[in-house]
Amino acid sequence: MYSQAAMMLDRILRLLAAYNIVTCSSETDDEGKLLTWHYGPAPVCKWLTKNEEGVSMASLVLMNQDKVLMESWYHLKDAVLDGGIPFNKAYGVTPFEYFGKDARCNQLFNEGMKSQTVIITKKLIEFYPGFDDVNILVDVGGGTGATLGIITSSYNHIKGVEHVGGDMLEEVPTGDAILIKCTLHDWSDEHCMTILKNCYRALPDNAKVIIVERILPVNPSAAPESQGVFDVDLVMLLQTPGGKQRTQNEFEALSKEAGFSSLKATHVFANTWAIELKK
Ligand SMILES: C[S@@+](CC[C@H](N)C(=O)[O-])C[C@H]1O[C@@H](n2cnc3c(N)ncnc32)[C@H](O)[C@@H]1O
């Protein structure tokens, strides 16, 4: 190994300690001369190391910090000045088109999505009671199927329907509930209206849509649960055609216009909510 590696690693760890990612204490000799530093995991490391399901939030961090996605930031100023989507300005295609042609990025995206969904869906099952009366659950924009897999293995009576290969902007499958998790934030209000109207059309009377999304606070604050949502909101600005995080009022307006009669939001985890729309 490179002779200066330990010193370099020390400097990296000291920065991480300054942000409370790791703990740090120094060891001195009897004269007070510094001998070494000792590092350990700070509480946030619980989320950055694999849990009993073999996933952690580190995959999502690695996805968002990947050089392909980071490139979008360099096009943000031009998008503010001239319009357009920063990611598309960088690569000439949308992220989903790009992932379709780049196996490494696709794997990174799927791993990031799967990891967060395993963690959040466990909390969804713990705190959202609305799956008891569902028999057929359609997962629109379900990705690798991890979300549905967790729900159907916890609720054996539920038959899960993946919406794979279909276009939710055209049509969605029928069921007695439609789950749409971390997907509406990829789309503009106009797109969301089309998707929600397609859901409304596909559902029988008294059925429901369960949107699982972060809800944007009206006023930003320096608390991590607020910072996290505004952070994802910027990622949506960088990479999607009009996608954004939404306030509860914005979800209410969309659901009303799509025809739904009521909205009830249940907090699940870290500002992620189950937003139930009744037909
Ligand atoms: C941000 S991911 C969310 C995945 C998953 N629901 C989760 O929470 O982990 C958005 C998903 O929407 C899918 N998607 C994108 N455009 C779509 C379309 N037009 N119709 C259906 N699904 C689409 C993507 O393939 C991706 O799996």
Task: Look at residue 80 in the predicted model and tell me its pLDDT.
Answer: 98
Cβ atoms 199, 257 nearer than 8 A: no
Mean pLDDT of the chain: 95
CA distances from residue 22 to 25, 43, 61, 140, 261 in whole angstroms, order as listed: 10, 8, 16, 38, 48
What's the gap in Å between 94 CA and the centre of ligand 1?
Answer: 13
Residue 186 in contact with ligand 1 by CB distance below 6 A = yes
Q: Does the beta carbon of 168 sit less than 6 angstroms from any atom of ligand 1?
A: yes
Closest CA to 109 of 63, 171, 165, 150: 63
Q: Which CATH superfamily is domain 45-278 in?
A: Vaccinia Virus protein VP39 (3.40.50.150)
pLDDT for 248: 97
Please say if the pLDDT value at position 159 is more than 80.
Answer: yes
Tokens matching residue 221: 């604050």
Ligand 1 within 6 A of CB of 239 = no
User: Residue 22 in 3-state DSSP?
Assistant: strand
pLDDT for 162 equals: 85
Which percentage of the chain shows pLDDT scores above 70? Answer: 100
Ligand 1 atom nearest the C-alpha of 169 is 19
Indicate if ligand 1 lies below 6 Å from the C-beta of 167: yes
Q: Give the tens place of pLDDT for each residue, 47-91.
A: 999 999 999 999 999 999 999 999 999 999 999 999 999 999 999
223-267 pLDDT tens trace: 988 999 999 999 999 999 999 999 999 999 999 999 999 999 999
Q: Average of pLDDT values for 156-172?
A: 90
Q: Return residue ranges of the chain for CATH 3.40.50.150.
A: 45-278
**In the chain, pLDDT over 90 holds for what percent of residues?**
92
The yes-or-no answer on residue 191 being catalytic is no
**167 CA distance to ligand 1 middle (Å):** 10
Question: Which of 125, 134, 211, 131 shows the shortest CA–CA distance to 168?
Answer: 211
